[in-house]
Amino acid sequence: DAGITQSPRHKVTETGTPVTLRCHQTENHRYMYWYRQDPGHGLRLIHYSYGVKDTDKGEVSDGYSVSRSKTEDFLLTLESATSSQTSVYFCAISESTPYNNQPQHFGDGTRLSIL
Amino acid sequence: QKEVEQDPGPLSVPEGAIVSLNCTYSNSAFQYFMWYRQYSRKGPELLMYTYSSGNKEDGRFTAQVDKSSKYISLFIRDSQPSDSATYLCAMRKGGSEKLVFGKGTKLTVNP
């Protein structure tokens, strides 16, 4: 296993509440990613980070923010959750460098339901 | 046109069969190609990682990339019930960290 822990594993919350999901890695990899997986859409990139305090947007970033204050932790925040953000969220890590592309490895996901 | 197309199946085969899974893509800039296996309620697990065209073999799994046709394949020999899962293809451009995924093919191998 790639040494990735996502928390919580399951969460049910109400529309309009803030939600923060955590991804913790023990591999000291530079890159970390947040994806969501929905039926009919597959996996889509929300945000990613290429170092402490260095982040960039993915394909579906609206309504989400991220923070990375330590190499090992990458947080995904839904400032005001909506029902359309009900999904399974996956964190991934990669030991890519600017000179060496490497594949991504995934955690086991967080199931988020927004009622 | 979607950047990556993958037949969602479902695909059902008997144990011991050879399985062929495929993806087509439209962006000729893709250089890195991956296959992931995803069991129910688990995260995707990397199976194969290839660069550019050609074949790569790992045990019962063979990945093929044909860049001229924009077509990639994963072959599973002597399929086992434990191979029952959803298989995702993914690809990215050189110098980019952004993966583009297919929607996945659900495979069932019947004992």
Owner of token pair 């087509």:
B24
- Residue B76's DSSP bridge partners are B19, B61
Question: What one-character-per-residue DSSP string does A30-50 give?
Answer: SEEEEEEEETTTEEEEEEEEE
Cβ pairs bridging A and B (under 8 Å): 49
User: What CA–CA distance (Å, rounded) separates A86 from B99?
Assistant: 22
Give chain A's mean pLDDT: 94
Residue range B26-67, pLDDT digits in tens: 999 999 999 999 999 999 999 999 987 889 999 999 999 999
Residue of B44, B97, B103 lying closest to A106 (CB–CB): B44
The half-sphere exposure of A28 on its side-chain side, counting CA atoms within 13 A, is 0
Q: Touching check for A3 and chain B: CB below 8 Å?
A: no
Give chain B's mean pLDDT: 94
